[in-house]
């Protein structure tokens, strides 16, 4: 699940890089490395929040229903909404002026900023929508498999 955020981030980075006409260079790769760090970090933190909400709901409910699972996932995702949007806003608002700059050094900084700005947009969509959906599907499958095997609804797995 950790490689998926980098793929979504890369798609946005590649799109903006292509739209701006930048070739791959060391500067562009530096931008991608920074982007991947942010994307993976925010994805991991989202999963941690989702898992904590799941654990809380599972401790309260002896048998985790689909509705309780969905409620736990929504609760965990909502807790990460504002921090993720603040991270994205800070990154995009701080790097967007670099994309418009024409002064000295802009030829080096623009290729670094382009993949980060483009990737943050697609990474946001992934972390706020797709990670909770994937988490819900995985936990639902695990809980159903445990019920079919006669195991208790253990929160691990």
For the segment 41-56, what is each residue's pLDDT rounded down to a tens digit? Answer: 888 888 899 999 988 8
Return the percent helix, strand and coil in the chain, to nearest 5. 85, 0, 15
Asked whether residue 110 is domain-assigned, the answer is yes
State which residues form the domain around 40.
Answer: 3-148
Place of tokens 């699940």: 1
Q: Which of 138, 134, 116 is nearest to 43 (CA)?
A: 134
pTM: 0.80
Which residue positions in the chain have pLDDT lower than 50? Answer: 153, 157
CATH number reported for the structural domain that contains residue 123 in this entry: 1.20.1640.10
Asked whether residue 155 is domain-assigned, the answer is no
**What is the pLDDT, as a whole number, of residue 151?**
65
Is residue 124 within 8 Å of 88, Cβ to Cβ? yes
Asked whether residue 157 is domain-assigned, the answer is no
Asked whether residue 24 is domain-assigned, the answer is yes
Compute the C-alpha angle 87/90/95, nearest 5°: 125
**Count: domains in the chain:** 1
Asked whether residue 108 is domain-assigned, the answer is yes
Which region, left, alpha or beta, applies to residue 64 given φ > 0 means left and ψ of -120 to 50 means alpha?
A: beta
How many whole angstroms separate alpha carbon 82 and alpha carbon 125?
Answer: 13
Q: Which of 48, 57, 117, 56 is nearest to 80 (CA)?
A: 48
Asked whether residue 156 is domain-assigned, the answer is no
Asked whether residue 43 is domain-assigned, the answer is yes
Could you give phi then psi for residue 90, rounded to 5 degrees?
-65, -45
Q: What is the pLDDT of residues 83-102, one digit of tens each?
A: 889 999 999 999 989 888 88
């Amino acid at each position: 699940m950790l490689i998926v955020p980098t793929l979504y981030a890369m798609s946005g980075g590649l799109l903006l890089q292509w739209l701006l006409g930048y070739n791959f260079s060391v500067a562009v790769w530096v931008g991608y490395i920074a982007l991947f760090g942010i994307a993976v970090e925010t994805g991991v933190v989202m999963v941690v929040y989702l898992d904590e909400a799941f654990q809380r709901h599972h401790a309260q409910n002896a048998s985790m229903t689909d509705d309780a699972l969905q409620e736990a996932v929504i609760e965990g995702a909502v807790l990460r909404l504002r921090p993720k949007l603040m991270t994205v806003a800070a990154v995009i608002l701080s790097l967007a002026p670099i994309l418009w700059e024409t002064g000295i050094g802009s030829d080096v900084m623009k290729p670094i900023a382009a993949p980060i700005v483009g990737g943050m947009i697609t990474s946001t969509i992934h972390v706020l929508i797709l990670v909770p959906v994937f988490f819900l599907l995985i936990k639902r499958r695990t809980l159903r498999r445990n019920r079919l095997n006669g195991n208790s609804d253990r929160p691990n797995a």
